[in-house]
Amino acid sequence: MSTRAGHGQARESQRGGPEEAAVQRFPKRHLRLTTANGARLIRDALGVGGELWVSGEGQSMHPTIRHADVVLLSPLRGGVKRGDIVLVPWGHGLMLHRVDKIDDENVRTKGDARDSRDPPTARGDVLGRAIAVRRRDNLRLLTPTLRFGILPLVQFVLGELYRQAQRVRRRARRRRQHSAR
């Protein structure tokens, strides 16, 4: 798993004071870790309340998260809800999938591009939640928040309404097919 960081530092411009401060971008740095060490780093960062941008590999969350997209992970604040994209242990590494089912003790996740659910994960083993995905220069929210401005929030709400409408259409189609039998 690799992590990428691009940080900005404000500095005063040649001409004047803080009101003319320009933002200088530092080049992106890549940290390459083994799967086990990357998982340990992410667990430790989320465990102390930190957030971090990470990129991973795989197509199981396509089209929401594509191979090599950069995802902002945040510690769980509050409970896990159906539809959340969460980080769970998977073998020696970690997996980012959508919560499909919750019961008293376990969470069942499923990749958006998969037909079947993953094995159950104990609720206490869920490590964090994905809150945004960055693809090239575009930011897309995965949970409602104003921290990135109003436009990403409006896009998130419209996307959720579209997803819910698709879910209702699929249910209605299944009911019609079932009643026709």
Statement to judge: residues 122 and 47 lie in one domain: yes
Statement to judge: residues 74 and 163 lie in one domain: no
Q: Tell me the mean pLDDT in the region 126-155.
A: 91
Q: Which residues have CB under 8 Å from 22's CB, separation 6+?
A: 10, 11, 13
97: domain CATH number is 2.10.109.10
Confidence of residue 38 (pLDDT cuts 50, 70, 90): confident
| Domain span holding position 170 | 147-181
Please report which helix (H) or strand (E) contains residue 38, including its range. helix 35-47
Q: Which residue has the higher pLDDT, 8 or 120?
A: 120
Task: Please name the amino acid found at residue 27.
Answer: P
Domain count, the chain: 2
Q: Which residue has the higher pLDDT, 22 or 79?
A: 79
Statement to judge: residues 87 and 135 lie in one domain: yes
Statement to judge: residues 165 and 100 lie in one domain: no
Q: Whole-structure pTM over 0.85, yes or no? A: no
| Averaged pLDDT of the chain | 83
Statement to judge: residues 137 and 154 lie in one domain: no
CA distance 129 to 55: 14
Looking at residue 17, its pLDDT comes to 44
